[in-house]
Structure 1
């Protein structure tokens, strides 16, 4: 999945999801979705990612097994540049990943919406959306 993200092939990333697979973002804030249900929603969510974030490298990657054979915890750090500001970013993620028959059934992504918005130059808009203001 990370190789596909680095190649900016978001359709191929979405194809890794089971048709009924779920993506959850427990720390999502403002107008960001908390849950995506199914491959089609994941595909729509990822479609514009390369226009926002130019991920260039995974600077750190640790995969931790769990007591379930279908689930791992992945810690990773992405670096790159934001498209809107051309500023470099470094973002840390922790993902709980569950697969069935080689496809993602649950992708629970613990990312920081504040760090991401700051990197993308959209922090003011995120804060406005959290406060219920129009951005």
Structure 2
């Protein structure tokens, strides 16, 4: 196996672990997938939502309550070919619910993730639809627009 294939396999394995750790509520293991100053970015987040979360401490603080709010499994994972073995482009879905409302949380995602050669996440850009999350938790749209 070439070095490029090893790097690509490590990047894709990290992505699969990301989905597993998030769905099983293992947030500390999820954070450990990131490089010390790793970045999680949300280009489509609502107005009150952070655009970036940087570093392991912020990542943990941001994600620690995810398992208390959502119960999800991730499905239909598809990796797209990339020129760089350090870049993962993935499409996948979530199947789950918001715990507080018992309403469905079924989301479609596209993620662009850059890793170092050891598979640690340097940058994770998360493309998701915030309206799906808002509906699942009964958040009024007015909380997120025109502010």
Determine if the TM-score, normalized by the shorter chain, exceeds 0.5. yes
8 A contact 1:78–1:91 mirrored in 2: yes
Query: Which has more strand, going by share of residues?
Result: 1
Q: Deviations over 1:77-119 (max 9, x none)?
A: 0111111101222111100011112210010001111111112
Structure-1 separation of matches of 2:39 and 2:27: 16
Structure-2 separation of matches of 1:66 and 1:34: 25
Matched, 1:50 2:67: yes
Question: Which of residues 89, 113, 116 is equivalent to 1:97?
Answer: 113
CA root-mean-square deviation: 1.2
2:89 alignment counterpart: 73
Query: Which has more helix, going by share of residues?
Result: 2
8 A contact 2:78–2:92 mirrored in 1: yes
Detail structure 1 runs of 4+ shifted over 3 Å in the superposition.
Answer: none
Matched, 1:61 2:71: no
Unaligned runs of 5+ in 2: 1-17
**SS class of match (1:90):** coil
**SS class of match (1:130):** coil
**SS class of match (2:45):** coil
Matched, 1:84 2:100: yes
For normalisation by structure 2, the TM-score amounts to 0.82
Structure-2 separation of matches of 1:127 and 1:75: 29
For normalisation by structure 1, the TM-score amounts to 0.89
* Offset of residue 59 of structure 1: 2.7
Structure-2 separation of matches of 1:15 and 1:37: 13
Aligned residues: 129
What aligned pairs does 1:123-134 form with structure 2 within 5 A after superposition?
Answer: 124=140, 126-132=141-147
